[in-house]
Chain A
Amino acid sequence: MRLAERLAGAHVLLTGATGFVGEALLERVLADLPQTRLTLIVRGRPGEPALARVRSLLTKPAFAALRARDGAQAVDALVGTRIQVVEGELGGQVGGLPPDVDVVLHCAGEVSFDPPVDEGFRTNLTGTLALLDAVRATGSRPHVVHVSTAYVAGLRSGWVPEGRHPHTLDWRAETRAAQALGDGADAASRVPTVLADLLAEARRHRGAAGRQEVAVEAERLRLRWVSKHLIEAGRQRALSLGWADCYALTKALTERAVEDGCSEWGVPLSIVRPSIIESALRRPAPGWIEGFKMVEPVLLAYGQGLLPDIKGAPDTPVDIVPVDLVVGALLAAAASPPPIGEPAWFHVGSSARNPLLFRDLHDYVRRYFTTHPLPRRGRGSHAVAAWDFAGEPRLERRLRLAERGHRAADRALEILPPSSAVRGAADRLDRVERRLRGLRRLSDLYGAYTQADLVFGDSGTLALHQALDPEDQAVFGCDASVIDWEHYLLDLHCPAVTALLRWSAALPPAPRPARGEPVADPSRTVVAAFDMDGTLLPSTVVEALLWVRLADAPRGRWPREMVRLAADLPRLLAAERHSRASVVRAVTERYAGADVEALTALVDERVASEVLSRLSPAAVRAVREHRAAGHRTVLITGALDLFTRPLAPLFDEVLATRLDVAADGRATGRLAEPPAVGEARAAWLARRAAEEGWDLPASAAYADGLSDLPMLRAVGLPVVVNPDVALARLARREKWPVVHWASTPSRSRFALAGAGR
């Protein structure tokens, strides 16, 4: 009997229809089982309810042939007639299920190998049981077809028969423990010692930016800590129980839970265990694949020359199976329910009868990329490596060495003063880091699979195949021996996987998307706020102090003054990394007793030339352009107002630090008010904006350091100028424009104006 007849009139409940296997399955049912009805459980997305998701699903390439055959309108009309959609999520509540389900095809599941442990159990195990309970509650008595994975076999080698794996784990206890870990991790992250460590790290990265920024960063780090902690918990638990990762562990326990559930419920159960599912052999189209699955990241990394070698032995079979064979096995299994209480197991893989060895895979892929190299935009094409299968210890050693080198270089860069060379080095280092991170991930994730010397027996699946009507064998066949690996890899899989990359590389280099210029409200003032030190001119408060102290001192005292300053410099510089406010205060102390009027005259006479000669021309042009555009130009600096005097005409408003002056006209060594640094700048901008009706979202701010982060965040158009490495990285993440305003320091900083001839 044909499969279409065997499943005619059946009502199939399908989960995971939006996933890779589910989509292929849906296509096949719609195309080749015309009498079969479907109910899909689909998760709605924000702005896209489940029904809409299904409608748009039917327009994807998988359904192109069907639409061509039956007409687009006819296919669209299936939703609501042959297809019913129920909104629901695995691990969440599912309601409104029909009472007459004949087959449950459960394809949905957590696909990540290393989910946080609680999430992995919730989605795969608890979610599956909840689904079965919901179906049971409607009164249906369906045949349950559960999609598992061949890797539930765990870390072992050799022949793996189809059947129940001999382990005695209590899935209920494991699930409870995972849940408890999840709840505990959040609590653990709030322990004072952990919080203190996280805060210290946040301070190291964002300390200069002020306490609010530190707090935001610390909370971000805490959430990351929780997630990493749970991922690691899942990984380690799986390894300690003999599975490669959390995914395989939860899948294995789910099988057992489903067995228990179905035998208690009294419904037939088939468990289908595919190996690594890859692109289609024939259906829905040769080479059809959607999204990147398991092998693709490795393939692409290899094609881009990023994978110098791989863990794994050359004669290990890599168990890959095309998606259409899996779909065929699932439907064939669905049509052949086993007796109640005697679950049937099916391995869908290739290692038993048509193994693809690692070295063959490498040869094919290498041949493919040698004849069809991946293009590099504007730089010809990528070169590929020849793996020598060096073995795990050597690879691991190499990778660890590279990671250590990277960390050392990174630490060095963070403390170097900003310069174009340092920024360039940081960019290069970041590229290295991305590469290393990718390698580490691939190595950690796939290590277990590439080294697993497993052969999955598939006599059950072969029997399913042979039981099919000969005509059905062509459509629903699940015999892996038909695969011609050379043809599959070279003509179908590799071209399909690289198609997207090739397509995007062929595009002309995209112009950087212009930032959407915020539309200014013409009735409100637009502001351009500028930081001074490091932005308009390359110097710091520390240097400014040096100038004035030197200018003030008689020439004979210069050496003494310089020695004193040199002694203080480390302290001042260290303080500057920590907080600019404390530097400004330390600097101000040094002015105690100075005659302010004389000091002002001194600055006007001597220091002004120094300041002006160091001004970056591009910076001045930017200020002037803003002014010409009708913007209000504002100088915000932690430096003493004395030093801003030469620049004052460029700005409509200057916020600088003022010295506290005693009645006798001498500086007290204290500040008249707290210095405008860090968050104080943002607060000041907000206050002035409220008072004067400034339009901050349409305003710009220019600054150079992490300490200016609050000011940059306060406006709609932050521009980062000559950033240090930390800020440059942040700017890239935030997609803020970065400009390099060079200044040609025209004369030695010690040749004070007036000291020349």
Chain B
Amino acid sequence: MRPGFVLEVDERTPPLLVHRGDSFGLERFPLGSRVVYPPEALPGLPDVRAAITQALEHPLDSEPLRVLLRPGMRLTIAFDDISLPLPPMRTPDIRQQVIEQVLELAAAAGVDDVELVVANALHRRMTGPEIRRIVGDRVYRSFWPQALTNHDAEDRANLVHLGLTDEGEDVEINKRAGTSDLLVYVNVNLVSMDGGWKSTAIGLASYASLRHHHNTKTMRHSRSFMDHKASALHSSAWRMGRLLQEHVPVFQIETTLNNQAFPTSYAFLTKREWEWSPRDQAMFWTLKNGLDRAPGRLRRKALSDLVADYEVTSVQAGAVEPVHELTIANVHRQQLVEVGGQTDVLVFGLPYLCPYNVNSSVMNPVLAMCLGLGYFFNMYRGQPLVRKGGALILYHPVQNAFDQLHHPSYVDFFEEVLAESTDPAIIEERFEKQYATDPWYTHLYRTSHAYHGVHPFYMWYWGAHALEHLGDVVWVGGDRKAVQRMGFRSASTLGDALSMVSGSVGTSPTITYQHNPPHSIADVR
């Protein structure tokens, strides 16, 4: 396994792979540009089942799970929803493997009252087949739909208010989880933002609770939200989690995956370009041309059918905070790349998938913004990879298209809210409440498969830090109107984009391309 590294583009550097939404491209970067490559995939655990058993039997700062289980108790198992991991991993999902062992232990201990809850917070309800894919057939058939449910953040009867943190933040979560004798949480820690107290205090919360940290102010002070120690979002979640712990014991099981984010047959997507074999070259050529010629729906289907050959690199269980420390160390082992100094221009290619359009028909502009200026921008530790006032160049088609089933409030957010303002603080003040309490969106969130009415606002706040930090944002290949609506500019080529940003970074800026995914965290020194 080779560590990640920073390449400096020279004459011998071939054109490099860049994700462009539903397609890919090869881009020749200017000489001297830096390219951040993630470490190669870590080897997976040889025996995942044994590793799980080991973690449950020897937890951190906790009795073994076996000991915590007793007959007559109320046991709730909560787990991450479909937004993790991306792309979905080849079955069996790691969550299935963990949950099965937890249930075996519970059965052995004579626990009858067991319920499973998807910690989807304000995400859309998952469909039965989607849940079955995560928990596996056996668990699904035994528990769905009575004892295996989606968390409903709008079901007043099934929420419990546990009190306020020292900072006055409401802690209101799923009633079943909040009133159990033991809450077991099963996570997949794909990136360093996940896990810890975020799992329970956010994943099982209501809007009343979430609004304390899902807002512009908090997000502007989360630098980055991928680093829980420097993130106001996580500090809030940690305060809430500590309060939660006073009401219900939490047994946290966290798992980490390696970097094998695509099927092995698509190896070129995770390999360094100069090491592509003729087979990789052919595969790239076939896939790219196929995608470019296929109609949208077919293209989308081809891509969303991809499953990742992730391997599990670690399983740790026990008390939330020590478990999470270890988890983060494992994530960093796979993703951290040391980068010497900031850059004037940061470049990303945005892929076809983000946490909120799994099985959707399309990635809409708001999600594209969130993926670029939220997730990818924040993939740093210490200081942002791009300097204050620098430029961000993103590759994505930014189609003005929405999945009406999953994202009904996004359409209106784009048409009505962004037309008024793109400033997160103004948007939050003027429009958030109206969308958050809209009965139609709430109805769709509760009965259909729609994200909550307020969710597009959160996506926009996710980019608040980047919006404040950056001097320029240009989308290469983005739909001009859609990009303009969001307050950005679009260019047809990297060259055009660079001349467009020359106003803020000059004509010979330093350029860094973070080669992502597979994910890397830039540890900027």
Contact = CB atoms under 8 A, between A and B. Distances in A.
Interface string B377-420: 00000000000000000000000011111001001100110000
B286 to A, nearest CB: 24
Contact of B130 (A609, A624, A649, A757): A757
B404 A756 contact: no
Interface stretch (B247-255, B359-367, B491-499): B359-367
A743 B444 CA distance: 18
Contact of B404 (A613, A649, A757): A613
B506 interface: no
A744 B405 contact: no
B128 A620 contact: no
Contacts of A624: 440
A557 interface: no
Interface residues of A, number: 23
Contact of B439 (A608, A612, A649, A746): A649
B437 interface: no
Contacts of A748: 297
Contacts of B484: none
Q: Using C-beta atoms within 8 Å of the partner chain, give the interface range for chain B.
A: 20 to 34
A650 interface: yes
B442 to A, nearest CB: 9
Contacts of B415: 617, 621
Interface in B424-454: 439-440, 443-444, 447-450
B449 A609 contact: yes
B362 A757 contact: no
A513 interface: no
Interface in A471-506: none
Contact of B403 (A649, A746, A754): A746
A211 B106 CA distance: 70
Contacts of A613: 361, 403-405
A615 B404 contact: yes
Contact of A620 (B130, B403, B408, B447): B408
B127 interface: yes
B239 interface: no
A101 to B, nearest CB: 74
Contact of A746 (B128, B130, B133, B361): B361
B130 A744 contact: no
B405 A612 contact: yes
A757 B439 contact: no
A747 B404 contact: no
A215 interface: no
Contact of A621 (B359, B405, B412): B412
A253 to B, nearest CB: 68
Contacts of B46: none
B449 A614 contact: no
Interface string A717-740: 000000000000000000000000
Nearest to B439: A649
Interface string A601-631: 0000000110011111100110010000000
Given A746-B403, A747-B297, A612 B448 contact: yes
B408 A617 contact: yes
A79 interface: no
B127 A753 contact: yes
Interface string B449-480: 11000000000000000000000000000000
Contacts of B361: 613, 744, 746-747
Contacts of A608: 447-448
Interface string A117-156: 0000000000000000000000000000000000000000
Contacts of A614: 404
Contacts of A746: 360-362, 403-405
Contacts of A757: 129-130, 133, 359
Contacts of B411: 617
Nearest to A645: B447
A754 B443 contact: no
Nearest to A755: B129
A646 interface: yes
Interface in B82-133: 127-130, 133
A568 B429 CA distance: 56
A644 to B, nearest CB: 14
Contacts of A620: 408, 440
Contacts of A743: 404
Contacts of B360: 746
Contacts of A649: 439-440, 443
Nearest to B448: A612
Interface in A90-120: none
Contacts of B359: 756-757
Contacts of B439: 649
Contacts of A609: 405, 448-449
Contacts of B362: 744, 746
A116 B405 CA distance: 61
B448 A646 contact: yes
A609 B124 CA distance: 12
A606 to B, nearest CB: 10
A646 B444 CA distance: 9
A177 to B, nearest CB: 68
A744 B404 contact: yes
Interface in B327-373: 359-362
A743 B361 CA distance: 12
Nearest to A621: B412
A747 B296 CA distance: 10
A616 B416 CA distance: 15
Interface in A520-563: none
A743 B297 CA distance: 14
Contacts of B443: 649
A753 B127 CA distance: 8
B52 to A, nearest CB: 25
A757 B361 CA distance: 14
Contacts of B408: 612, 615, 617, 620
A617 B402 contact: yes
A711 to B, nearest CB: 24
A748 to B, nearest CB: 7
Contacts of A744: 361-362, 401-404
B448 A756 contact: no
A608 B127 CA distance: 13
Nearest to B401: A744
A612 B297 CA distance: 18
A614 B361 CA distance: 12
A617 B364 CA distance: 14
A62 B18 CA distance: 77
Contacts of A646: 447-448
Residue of B297, B360, B402 most packed against chain A (CB within 10 A): B297
Nearest to A649: B443
B109 to A, nearest CB: 34
A754 B127 contact: yes
Nearest to B444: A612
A91 to B, nearest CB: 61
Contacts of B416: 621
Residue of B127, B359, B404, B408 most packed against chain A (CB within 10 A): B404
A756 B403 CA distance: 15
Given A615-B404, A754-B128, 19 more contacts: A608-B447, A609-B405, A612-B444, A613-B404, A616-B404, A617-B402, A617-B404, A617-B408, A617-B411, A617-B412, A617-B415, A621-B415, A624-B440, A744-B403, A746-B362, A756-B127, A756-B129, A757-B129, A757-B359
Interface of A: 608-609, 612-617, 620-621, 624, 646, 649-650, 743-744, 746-748, 753-754, 756-757
22 contacts: A608-B447, A609-B405, A612-B408, A612-B450, A613-B403, A615-B404, A615-B408, A616-B404, A617-B404, A617-B408, A617-B411, A624-B440, A646-B447, A649-B439, A744-B362, A744-B401, A744-B403, A744-B404, A746-B360, A746-B404, A747-B297, A747-B361
The 9 A-B residue pairs with the shortest CB-CB distance in the complex, in nearest-first order: A746-B361, A613-B405, A617-B411, A649-B443, A612-B405, A746-B403, A612-B448, A613-B404, A744-B401
